[in-house]
Structure 1
Amino acid sequence: MKAFGKILGLVLLGLLLIIVALGFALTHLFDPNDYKDEIRQIARDKAHIELTLNGDIGWSLFPWLGLELHDASIATMIKPNEPYADLQMLGLSVRVLPLLRREVQMSDVRVEGLNLRLTRDKNGHGNWEDIGKLPPSPETAATSPATEQPAPEASPTPEKPPQPIRLDIDSLTVNNARVEYNDEQTGKNFSAESIQLSTGAVHDSTNIPLKLTAFLSTNQPVVRVRTELVGELRIARALQRYQFEDMRLSGEVTGDPLPGKTLTFAAQGQLLLDKAANVAEWTGIKVSANQLRALGELKVNDLDKTPQVSGGISIAQFDLAKFADSIGQQLPAMAEGSLSKVELVSRLAATPTSLSLDNLNLKFDDSTFSGRIAIEDFAKQSLRATLKADTFNVDRYLKPKSAEANSTTQVRQAEVASTEADALAGAGSTPLPPAPTKGAWSNDRLLPVERLRKLDVNADLTFGQLTLEKLPIHNAALNANGQGGLLTLANLRGDLYDGSFEASGTLDVRQETPALNLQTKINRVPVEKILESQGKNPPVKGLVTLNSNLTGSGNSQKALIDTLNGNASFVINNGVLLNANLEQQICKGIATLNRKTLSGEPRGKDTPFQELKGNLTLRNGVASNPDLKVRIPGMTVNGDGDLDLRVLGMDYRVGIIVEGDTSAMPDPACQVGDKFVGIEWPLRCRGPLELGAKACRVDNERMGQVAAKFAGDKLSDKIDEKLGDKINPQLKDALKGLFKR
């Protein structure tokens, strides 16, 4: 028995030596380079590709079937002279015996200098579409489709489905590979260069360590990306399930979208693709881009139909202004420190054409928004927003006034200040202030018309407190929509200084010149607060109620005011004319009629009133007010004049009627008696609108008419006293009328 075992061992050793000897002889005596033409023909007949072998073929037989190809290229049969791929070297080896069991066991697979060129021509045809196709033969080209006879259908023969080949590779290495895509229709070019790929052992349903680096670039726009990808790939072919665990992607981006800047990015997480269930997932997401940091999870369903994305995202607090600067983007000018604290938490849903952020919680600076934002159609930029905010200061994010606007404001303020000082110093004794002539509005471009024309938006916003033009609006609500260049403000309302306001209107930017239509309602809002918020000294206090319907056109403040038309009505209740002593003006008129001189110094005090009201008709920036009426205790004020909104000036003729209040006047020279009751004392008010009643003076021209009337009444009294009842009443009336003319 022992001898038998020894003999068997010798036999096996002999067979092994024979096999090795045959393999050695085969690999050294048989040169595959002598069969290049046959190999090319097999590639044509079986794979329908044009294979060019410029370099040598090296090989080994046992225990590895080894092969090395050098300097080879591949082209389609249709364009054999235009290779779409070439490589410097391909090296691989396969165990011989496992092949008999339909198992592929490879050692290291190496690819050096692979160059893949994909091209789409001007007709939209890609060169990869011809892979595996035969060129049309002359007989086929000459045969008309109408004369072709359909081939008889072969009866289907049931075949046993092939068993999947087991894949087993010790490692895969790709060095210095390049892939290029060129689209002649659009002129766009995409490329991946310096591709380096290395893996560990490749086995089915086991983790495969992987590392990939490459430089990616495009020409429209010019962008260059350096990338590195590492992780562990797990392939379960039978289950059609692919996982990329502990995935880490990092790199840098430069190019035209980032002028002179670099975006450093990183992403990691767990990736899953389940083709059987048509599901893909990315869990444990961690993303960074310069200062931005985000966490999240994403899931994609219906991969075989229209993919549906769902998930969540959380962006940690970051400085958006600095982030924008770090990628070379210029944000619109706004107050310093704006957008320095931004963070976001939201659920999301998306399709290839839409994106929505639900259960949104957005914080920036001192504001918090919650609700929903969605883009319903990327192509149409259809924006939908339903948001609720605790507080929001719009002024903080508006463009600051230009140097021209500031200069205009400063000149006007200086003009008003000088006029106001003269008015107070003279207390009605100085000449009328000159009518203002300086424009009060900016010529700066006001609206981004091109952007508004493309806008498709529907917004429903509410605010606990909204600051707009320095006005603190509480419980504000905004409902607006826009499409095709027509923007509609359905409603803007809120509480303002214990009063309320409401506005609606449209902005039409479909034509070259934007057109505005605006309706407003203001209810019992302190008028002085509105003026103070705009940096103006209020000439009046009181609760204003205003209704207006206005139109205008243009794309600047000045253009809109110059074309302002419409009508308005206003009432101010329980108010005060500040630093305006109408009593002093009447006193001066009475002293003039009494031919006396005022002995006391003018008293600068306010004039309280019960009601100030009127109606305005606006034509091209000038508001006509024919029915101004002010009710003051003991007197009534009537006015007729214009408000020139283009220069913020006014020109009024005012009449003050003493209704019977004969209380002591501030100066003995102007004591009011019964004889002055019912007389309309004329004033002229002209100057900057901010002066209000401080720009009023006794109207000397009309005062002469009052004096003549007063003299006529006084002479009539003397005729009655002298003639008594001794003369015919008709003659007495004739004499009175004679002296009144």
Structure 2
Amino acid sequence: MKAFGKILGLVLLGLLLIIVALGFALSHLFDPNDYKDEIRQIARDKAHIELTLNGDIGWSLFPWLGLELHDASVATLAAPNQPFADLQMLGLSVRVLPLLRKEVQMSDVRVEGLNLRLTRDKDGHGNWQDIGQPAPATASTDAGSASTETANKPDSVSQPLKLDIDSLTVNNARVEYNDERNGQQFSAESIQLSTGPIHEATSTPVKLTAFLGTNKPVMRVKTEVDGKLRFDRVLKRYQFEDMKMVGEASGEPLQGKTMTYAVQGQILVDLAANVAEWSGLKVSANQLRALGELKASNLDSTPQISGGLSIAQLNLATFLDSIGHTLPQMAPGSLSKVELVSRLSGSPTSLAFDELNLKVDDSTFTGRIAIDDFARQALRVQLKGDTFDADRYLPPKSAAANSAAAARKTEVQGSEAGALAASGDTPLPEAPTKSGWSTTKIIPVTRLKALDLEADLSFGQLTLTRLPIQNAALKVSSKDGLLTLQNLSGNLYKGTFAANGSLDVRPMLPLANLQTRINNVPVEKILQSQGQKPPVTGLLTLNSNVTGSGNSQSALIQSLNGTANFVLNDGVLLNANLEQQLCKGISVLNRKTLSGTPPGKDTPFKELKGSLVFRNGVASNPDMIVRIPGMSVKGDGDIDLRVLGMDYRIGIIIEGDTRAMPDPACQVGKNFVGIELPLRCRGPLELGAKACRLDKEGLGKVAAKVAGNKISEKLEEKLGDKVSPELKNALKGLFSR
């Protein structure tokens, strides 16, 4: 038996030596370069590709089945003269015996100078879709035979090959994609890929570097990816552990600036469960730092994304400037402290930030921001803020607006210098001619036409155009060029206000409509907040409904039409002593000289009310009524909003000097009872009562009436009961006309 075993061993050793010798002979005596044409034909028949071998073929048979190709290219049979891939060198080797067990044990795999060109034509057909397809002439025959062969084959469950590769190295590779439908191009150049040993269910070190580019917009990105790849094809689980990606980006979207970025985390894709996770997410881009986690589900249908995101405090203005997006001029320090914490949810067409906590400078917002549809840019906002100063983020006035405002200010100052309302001796100020309204476009028509917005905002305190609004609420929507202000309301200086309206940018000239309701708001506070010197104080109640068209302050004011009614209670006409004006008029009628000047420089009143009709920027006020202690006032005039000027005729029914020790010249006799003293007010609206003077023409008519009253009295005394009442009345009428 021992001899038999020895003989058997010698036989087996001999057979092994024969096999090795045969492999050596085949690999050294057989040259595959002599069979390039046959190899190309086999590639056409079996793989349905056009293989071009310009370089030498190197190979080995045992114990490694080795292959080395030089200067080769591959094309589809549909376009054999247009290679979609070529390479300078491909080298690999596979152990022969493990192949019998469906195990692929490979040594180092090297790819040099791979150039892959992918193209989609104007009909949307990609050249890669023809890979492995028969030539067009034999497509139907081959397809029929293939389907027959497939039908005759019994069903079987294929088992994946077991991979065992020492390493994979790709040097100087390039991938290019062109889409002829839209002219879009993408490229990845100078690709360098290296891995450690690749084994199933084992972490494999991977390092990849590349330069990425696109032409619409022009972008250039340098990137480097490092980590450990782990996969299990049976369980369909793929992991990228300790993934780190760093690089730099530049191009048109960055306006010549450069952005450095870094991304890291743990990535898991489970195709059996159709989920993917990105945990330990860390992102940095210039000054921005963010942490988070993401999870995707339903990978086999419509993926759904969820997770969380936290952005550390950063100077947002500086960050945006560093990536080429300079913001409009704002107040110093604006957007210098911004941070965010939120939950995320989304799909391929939408993204939502829920449970949002956003801090912007000195303000904190909570709520939700969502983009319901990326294609329509459908923005949905529900936020609640504590305090927010909107003025610091508004752009400054344009040079044209400042110039117009300066010209009007000069004109008003000139009128005010000559007014001297306290004396009442100067002529009426001239009506203003300079407009302080800007002609700069203020409505972003193009953006509004594309805007799909629903916003519901509330604030503990909102500062808007320097007005401190408490408990402010704003609800607005916009779609297809129609912006609708559903509500803007709040408390203002212990009063309330509310507004609603619309802005339609679909016509050639934008059309605005606004309804306002103001209740018991101090009018002087509103004027002071706008940098104006108030001519009057009091609690304002106003209801208005106005329309306007145009794309500037000037155009909107010039086209202003609508109605309004107002009441101003418990007010004061500042720097306007109407009592002096009245006493002066009464003294003229009494033909006496005032012994002094009535005390005080202001005129208080109980109520000022009326209605307004707006026609092309001019507000007509035919029914103004003012109730002042000792007198009542009626007014009829116009306010020209285009130049902020006024022209009023005012009638004052007087009671005279009601002080305990009245000025004799200012006493009202029974002849003056019911007499209406006329005033004329003309000039800049800011002057208020300073622009009012006695109407001398109207005063002459009053004097004639008073004279008539005195003659009537004398007739009464002379006639007594000697004539009939009818004759008395007729005689009085002659002198009272």
TM bin (shorter chain)? over 0.9
| 2:414 match | 418
CA drift at 1:377: 1.2
Q: Secondary structure at the match of 2:170?
A: strand
Per-residue displacement from partner, 1:445-473 (whole Å, max 9, x unpaired)? 01101111111111111111111111111
* Aligned residue runs from structure 1 range 203-218, under 5 A: 203-218=199-214
Give a deviation string over 1:374-414, Cα, whole Å, max 9, x none.
Answer: 11111111111111111111111111111221122222223
Structure 1 residues 87-122: Cα deviation after superposition (integer angstroms, max 9, x where no partner): 100011112222222211111100000111111122
Instruction: Give the structure 2 partner of residue 447 of structure 1.
Output: 443
Deviations, residues 183-225 of structure 1 (Å, cap 9, x unaligned) = 1222111111100000000000000000000111111111111
Q: Distance in 2 between matches of 1:149 and 1:291?
A: 62
Partner of 1:646: 642
Q: Say whether the 8 Å CA contact 1:580–1:606 is kept in structure 2.
A: yes
1:197 corresponds to: 193
Secondary structure of the 1:260 match is coil
Aligned positions of 1:232-311 closer than 5 A: 232-311=228-307
1:610-647: CA deviation from partner (whole Å, max 9, x where unpaired): 11111111111111111111111121111111111111
Contact 2:352 2:369 in 1 (8 A): yes
Sort the Cα spacing of 1:702 and 1:665 in 2 relative to 1 into closer, same or farther, 3 A: farther
- Aligned residues of 2:608 and 2:625 also touching (Cα < 8 A): yes
Shift of 1:658: 2.0
Pairing partner for 1:165 from 161, 165, 188: 161
Give the unaligned 5+ runs of structure 1. none
Which of 493, 500, 505 in structure 2 is aligned with 1:497? 493
* Among 310, 313, 333, the residue aligned to 1:314: 310
Cα distance, 1:717–1:111 mapped onto 2, change above 3 Å: same
Cα displacement (A) at 1:649: 0.9
Distance in 1 (alpha carbons) for counterparts of 2:89 and 2:149: 44
Q: 2-side partners of 1:99 and 1:454: how far apart? A: 61
* Paired position in structure 2 for 1:538: 534
What's the Cα RMSD here? 2.6
Answer yes or no: is the 8 Å Cα contact 1:464–1:476 preserved in 2: yes
CA contact (8 A) 2:219 2:252 kept: yes
Give the counterpart letter for 1:208 in structure 2: T
User: How many Å separate the matches in 2 of 1:36 and 1:737?
Assistant: 133
Residue matched to 2:512: 516
Q: Give the aligned partner of residue 64 of structure 2.
A: 64
Q: 1 CA distance for matches of 2:322 and 2:69?
A: 48
Following superposition, the deviation at residue 12 of structure 1 comes to 7.3
User: For structure 1, which segment, 181-190 or 460-469, has the greater mean C-alpha deviation from structure 2 after superposition?
Assistant: 181-190
Measured after TM superposition, the shift of residue 340 of structure 1 is 1.4
* TM-aligned CA distance change 1:719 to 1:139, over 3 Å: closer
Q: Secondary structure at the match of 1:137?
A: helix
Preserved CA contact (<8 Å) 2:655 2:668: no
Report the Cα offset of residue 416 of structure 1.
Answer: 2.0
**CA deviation after TM superposition for structure 1 residue 551, in Å:** 1.0
Deviation at 1:278, TM superposition (A): 0.8
Q: Which runs of 5+ in 2 are unaligned?
A: none
Of 657-666 and 583-592, deviating more is: 657-666
Q: Do residues 105 (structure 1) and 105 (structure 2) align?
A: yes
Matched residue type, 2:50: E
Residue 441 of structure 1 aligns to which amino acid in structure 2? W
Could you say which residue in structure 1 is the equivalent of 2:579?
Answer: 583
Structure 1 residue 671 displacement after superposition:
3.1
Q: 2:58, 2:148 → 1: CA distance?
A: 46
Q: In structure 2, which of residues 307, 311, 320 is the aligned counterpart of residue 324 of structure 1?
A: 320
Which letter does structure 2 place at the counterpart of 1:463? F
- Cα distance in structure 1, aligned partners of 2:139 and 2:218: 48
Amino acid at match of 1:24: F
Answer with 674-683 or 202-211: which moved more.
Answer: 674-683
**d(CA) in 2 for partners of 1:251, 1:218:** 16
Percentage of identical aligned residues = 72
Paired position in structure 1 for 2:89? 89
Residues 310-709 of structure 1 aligned to structure 2 (within 5 Å): 310-424=306-420, 427-601=423-597, 605-659=601-655, 662-663=658-659, 667-709=663-705
Residue of structure 2 in register with 1:116 after alignment: 116
* CA pair 91-152 structure 1, distance change in 2 beyond 3 A: closer
- Output aligned runs, 1:166-185, within 5 Å: 166-185=162-181
- C-alpha spacing 1:390/1:423, structure 2 compared with 1 (3 Å): same
Match for 2:37: what amino acid?
A: D
1:712 to 702, 708, 712: 708
Contact 2:204 2:229 in 1 (8 A): yes
What secondary structure, in the 3-state scheme, does the structure 2 residue paired with 1:45 have? Answer: helix
The match for 2:77 is: 77
User: Is the 2:27–2:60 contact (alpha carbons within 8 Å) kept by the matching residues of 1?
Assistant: yes
TM-score for both structures, normalised by structure 1: 0.95
Whole-Å Cα distance in 1 between the matches of residues 209 and 149 of structure 2?
50
TM superposition shift of 1:335 = 2.2
| Contact kept? 1:343, 1:364, Cα under 8 Å | yes
1:223 corresponds to which of 219, 223, 236: 219
1:32 maps onto 2:32 in alignment: yes
Tell me, in whole angstroms, the C-alpha distance in 2 between the residues paired with 1:449 and 1:154: 62
Task: For residue 653 of structure 1, report the CA deviation from its aligned partner.
Answer: 0.8
Q: Residues 78, 234 of structure 1: CA spacing in aligned structure 2 closer, same or farther, 3 A cutoff? A: same
Larger displacement relative to structure 2 (485-494 or 424-433): 424-433
1:153 Cα offset (Å): 9.6
Q: Deviations over 1:354-390 (max 9, x none)?
A: 1111111111111111111111111111111111111
Spell out, residue by residue over 1:97-152, the C-alpha distance to the aligned partner (whole angstroms, 9 max, x if none): 222222111111000001111111222221111111111337969x9x9xx99987
User: Contact between 1:390 and 1:465, CA under 8 Å: does it hold in 2?
Assistant: yes
Rate the CA distance shift 1:688–1:667 in 2: closer, same or farther, 3 A.
Answer: farther
- In structure 2, the CA distance between the partners of 1:268 and 1:557, relative to structure 1 (3 Å rule), is same
Query: Which SS does the other structure have where 2:689 is aligned?
Result: helix
Q: Quick one: which amino acid aligns to residue 84 of structure 1?
A: F
SS, match of residue 44 in structure 2:
helix
Report the alpha carbon displacement of residue 311 of structure 1 after superposing the two structures with TM.
0.8
- Which deviates more from structure 2 when the two are superposed, residues 298-307 or residues 398-407? 398-407
Q: CA deviation at 1:255?
A: 1.1
Tell me the secondary structure at the aligned position of residue 538 of structure 1: coil
Q: 1:382 touches 1:457 (CA, 8 Å); kept in 2? A: yes
8 Å CA contact 2:95–2:106 kept in 1: the answer is yes
The 1:15/1:418 distance shift into structure 2, 3 A limit, reads same
CA separation of 1:151 and 1:263: change in aligned 2, threshold 3 A: closer
Count of residue pairs the alignment pairs up: 737
**Contact 1:660-1:674 within 8 A present in 2 as well:** no
Judge conservation of contact 1:662–1:674 (CA < 8 Å) in 2. no
Q: Check 1:12–1:343 CA distance in 2 against 1; reply closer, same or farther (3 A cut).
A: same
* Structure 2 letter corresponding to 1:495: N
1:42 alignment counterpart: 42
* Deviation per residue, 1:280-312 (Å, 9 max, x gap): 111110011111111111111111111111111
Deviation at 1:735, TM superposition (A): 4.5
SS at match of 2:502: strand
Mark the CA change 1:592 to 1:117 in structure 2 (over 3 Å): closer, same or farther: same
Task: Report the 3-state secondary structure (helix = DSSP H, G, I; strand = E; otherwise coil) of the residue aligned with 1:588.
Answer: helix
Shift in alpha-carbon separation, 1:11–1:139, aligned structure 2, 3 A:
closer
Of the structure 1 ranges 705-714 and 535-544, higher mean CA displacement relative to structure 2 is found in 705-714
What secondary structure does 1:407 align onto?
helix
Amino acid at match of 1:320: L
Q: How far 1:579 sits from its partner (Å)?
A: 0.9
Query: How far is the alpha carbon of 1:174 from its aligned partner?
Result: 0.3
